[in-house]
Amino acid sequence: MLEVLTFPDSRLRVKAEKVTVFDGELARLAEAMMRAMYDNSGMGLAAPQVGEAIQMVVTDFNAPDHNPATRCPKAWVNPEIRERTGEMTTEEGCLSLPGFRALVARAESVTVVYQTLEGESRQENLTGLDAVCLQHEIDHLSGKLFIDHLPPVRREMIKKKLTRQARSA
């Protein structure tokens, strides 16, 4: 069972390495990340959040329904956003920042190139919450958290609370 790291763990701030080997180990990690995502009722999880500094995220855009029958897990290896259009503000949360939610503005539509677990190149267009979710997860690959998008005063307040929370845990 993978442990999801929480702020202020420094491993959440590393720049993840590109994946070059597409083997069983990668597939097993993706599977374990999906399990951790479902166990924590998340919609996405990035490898650095479980202490693996590689460019891989998993998502399930149907996950908010919490219905195992409609699960749609997907792994995105070396994902990269090529195009962003529009703007959309939604309330975001993060498994690494438990208990906090905040409004974040992101692109409404994105074109993303990525590789499958087998190393095949793909391109996809996403809009709305799916696009927001993937942008949030891709941010994790460069050590960025959703609080980094907030105004400094609000960001510092959340950081202080989280650090205090972590110390008393």
57 touches Zn ion (CB under 5 A): no
Active site residue 31: no
56 binds Zn ion (CB under 5 A): no
Concatenating the DSSP letter of every residue in 22-55 gives -SHHHHHHHHHHHHHHHHTT-SEEEGGGGT--BS
**Residue type (1 letter), 55:** Q
Tell me the residue nearest to Zn ion as measured from the CB. Answer: 94
Which residues inside 87-106 make contact with Zn ion, applying CB under 5 A?
Answer: 94
Q: Which residues pair with 16 in a beta bridge?
A: none
Beta carbons of 143 and 14 less than 8 angstroms apart = yes
131 binds Zn ion (CB under 5 A): no
Site for Zn ion contains 141 (CB under 5 A): no
From the candidates 83, 92, 137, 156, give the one annotated as an active-site residue: 137
C-beta closer to Zn ion: residue 71 or 101? 101
3-state secondary structure of 154: helix
Residues known to be catalytic = 137
Give the binding site for Zn ion (CB under 5 A). Answer: 94
